[in-house]
C-alpha cells in the first residue's frame, strides 16, 4: 500500500467496527443466557390520576441483573435485543410476567390497577405480537381492559399501514394503546388520527424544564389540548417537582408518572404501595358514607 491517510483510516475504522461487533456479540450471548436463566426482572412505576391523587396503574420496566456487572440498563440492552431477534423471547417474557403480576395483585385482594408494557419497533412489526398478547392474557386471566401497550411514534411512522393493521388486531383483543415519548418522533398528525390510540404519553424532555421553559409549557399545553380534543387521555412522564404537577393539573392533564411520586420499584416495594392505595380507598369510601 502507498501509506496514504485514506488507507490508514480504513484500517482504523475497520478495527473499530470489529471491536463494536465483538462487544455486541458478547452482550448478545450474555443476554440470551439472562433470558433463559431468569436474570431479568420487572420494576413497576406508579401512574397517578392527577385530579384525585389515586394510584390507577403502573408501567412495567425491565431490568437485567447480571451476577457480575450488576444492573444493566434497558437503554443498553433493548437495542441489542432488537437487532439480534432476542426481542422475541424477551418481549414475550415481559408481557407474560407483567400480566401474571397484575392479576396476582388482584387475587391478593389488592386494587385492580392497569399495567402498561413497552413494545419496541421490531417486536411490534416483526413478531406475532397479537398472538403473543392474546396468550399472555389467556394464561394470566388478566382482563384485557387492564393491559395497556406502549408504542413509540417511530414504530408507527416507519410503516404506517402495517402498523395500523397490527394496532387494530391489538385493539380487537380489548386492550388499551398508548403512544410513548410523544413529541420526540416524527408522527404525522394525519396518521395519528387514523390510529386507535387511547393515551398520549408526553415525553419527559418536555416536562423537565417546566416551569422555566415557556416553550416546553406551550408544547405540553398544546399536546394536552390536542389529545383531549381527539378523545384521548394524556399522561405526563418524568414529573419530578410539585411545580410541574401543578402546571399539569391546571391544564387538565389526566395522569402522571415520575420521581415526584416514585421511581420504578421492585415487586415487593410496589406491593407495599398498593396496600397503601387499598387503605386510602377504604378510607375514602368510609368518608363518603359519612363514617370517616
**Hey, which residues between 4 and 63 contact ligand C2E (CB under 6 A)?**
45, 61-62
The Cα–Cα gap between 70 and 283 comes to: 41
CA-to-CA separations, 201 to 7, 113, 156, 239, in angstroms, rounded: 48, 18, 15, 12
**139 has which bridge partners?**
none
**Kind and range of the H or E element at 21?**
helix 5-37
Region from 89-97, 105-113, 230-238, 262-270 binding Mg ion, contact rule CB under 5 A: 230-238
Mind giving me the DSSP string for 109-130? T----EEEEE--HHHHHHS-HH
Number of residues binding to ligand C2E, judged by CB under 6 A: 23
Residue (194 or 240) nearer to ligand C2E, CB: 240
Region from 21-29, 105-113, 117-125, 218-226 binding ligand C2E, contact rule CB under 6 A: 117-125
What are the strands, taking DSSP E only, across 153-214? Answer: 176-182, 199-202
Interaction partner, residue 257 (ligand C2E, Mg ion, none; CB < 5-8 Å by kind): ligand C2E
DSSP code of 159? S
Q: Does 154 bind ligand C2E (CB under 6 A)?
A: no
Region from 6-14, 158-166, 257-265, 280-288 binding ligand C2E, contact rule CB under 6 A: 257-265
Cell of 228: 383531549
**Chain residue at closest Cβ approach to ligand C2E:** 258
Q: Which residues contact 30 (CB under 8 A, 6 or more apart)?
A: 66
The torsion angles phi and psi of 61, rounded to 5 degrees, stand at -125, 125
The Cα–Cα gap between 135 and 128 comes to: 11
CB of 96 to ligand C2E, least distance (A): 11
Interaction partner, residue 264 (Mg ion, ligand C2E, none; CB < 5-8 Å by kind): ligand C2E
Cell of 283: 378510607
Region from 26-34, 116-124, 138-146, 280-288 binding ligand C2E, contact rule CB under 6 A: 116-124
Q: Does 103 bind Mg ion (CB under 5 A)?
A: no
Region from 65-73, 118-126, 241-249, 258-266 binding Mg ion, contact rule CB under 5 A: 118-126
Q: Does 88 bind ligand C2E (CB under 6 A)?
A: no
The Cα–Cα gap between 134 and 114 comes to: 16
The Cα–Cα gap between 46 and 143 comes to: 19
> Residue 31: CA atoms inside 13 Å, Cβ hemisphere, count?
27
Single residue of 238, 245, 253, 256 touching ligand C2E by CB under 6 A:
238
Quote the distance between the C-alpha of residue 243 and its chain's center: 24
Q: Does 220 bind ligand C2E (CB under 6 A)?
A: no
> Residue 286's CB: how many other CB atoms inside 10 A?
11
CB of 284 to ligand C2E, least distance (A): 26
Single residue of 58, 78, 178, 217 touching ligand C2E by CB under 6 A:
78
Residue (16 or 82) nearer to ligand C2E, CB: 82
Residue (47 or 118) nearer to Mg ion, CB: 118
Binding site for Mg ion (CB under 5 A): 118, 150, 180-181, 237
Binding site for ligand C2E (CB under 6 A): 45, 61-62, 73-75, 78, 94, 118-120, 123, 180-181, 204, 237-240, 257-259, 264
Amino acid at each position: 500500500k502507498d501509506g496514504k491517510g485514506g488507507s490508514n483510516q480504513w484500517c482504523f475504522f475497520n478495527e473499530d467496527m470489529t471491536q463494536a461487533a465483538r462487544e455486541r456479540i458478547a452482550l448478545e450471548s450474555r443476554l440470551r443466557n439472562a433470558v433463559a436463566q431468569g436474570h431479568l426482572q420487572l420494576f413497576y412505576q406508579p401512574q397517578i390520576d392527577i385530579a384525585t391523587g389515586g394510584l390507577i396503574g403502573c408501567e412495567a420496566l425491565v431490568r437485567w441483573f447480571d451476577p457480575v456487572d450488576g444492573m444493566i440498563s434497558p437503554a443498553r440492552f433493548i437495542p441489542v435485543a432488537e437487532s439480534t431477534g432476542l426481542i422475541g423471547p424477551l418481549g414475550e417474557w415481559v408481557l407474560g410476567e407483567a400480566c401474571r403480576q397484575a392479576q396476582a395483585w388482584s387475587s391478593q385482594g389488592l386494587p385492580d390497577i392497569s399495567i402498561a408494557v413497552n413494545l419496541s419497533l421490531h417486536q411490534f412489526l416483526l413478531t406475532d405480537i397479537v398472538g403473543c398478547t392474546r396468550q399472555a392474557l389467556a394464561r394470566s386471566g388478566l382482563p384485557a381492559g387492564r393491559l395497556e401497550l406502549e408504542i413509540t411514534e417511530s414504530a408507527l411512522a416507519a410503516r404506517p399501514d402495517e402498523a395500523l393493521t397490527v394496532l387494530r388486531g391489538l385493539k380487537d383483543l380489548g386492550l388499551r394503546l398508548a403512544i410513548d415519548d410523544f413529541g420526540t418522533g416524527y408522527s404525522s398528525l394525519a396518521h395519528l388520527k387514523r390510529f386507535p390510540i387511547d393515551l398520549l404519553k408526553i415525553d419527559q424532555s418536555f416536562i423537565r424544564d417546566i416551569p422555566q421553559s415557556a416553550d416546553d409549557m406551550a408544547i405540553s399545553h398544546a399536546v394536552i389540548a390536542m389529545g383531549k380534543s381527539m378523545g384521548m387521555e394524556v399522561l405526563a412522564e418524568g414529573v419530578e417537582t410539585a411545580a410541574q404537577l401543578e402546571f399539569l393539573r391546571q391544564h387538565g392533564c389526566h395522569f402522571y408518572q415520575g420521581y415526584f411520586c416514585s421511581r420504578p420499584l421492585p415487586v415487593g416495594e410496589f406491593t407495599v404501595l398498593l396496600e397503601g392505595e387499598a387503605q386510602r380507598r377504604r378510607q375514602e369510601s368510609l368518608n363518603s358514607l359519612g363514617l370517616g
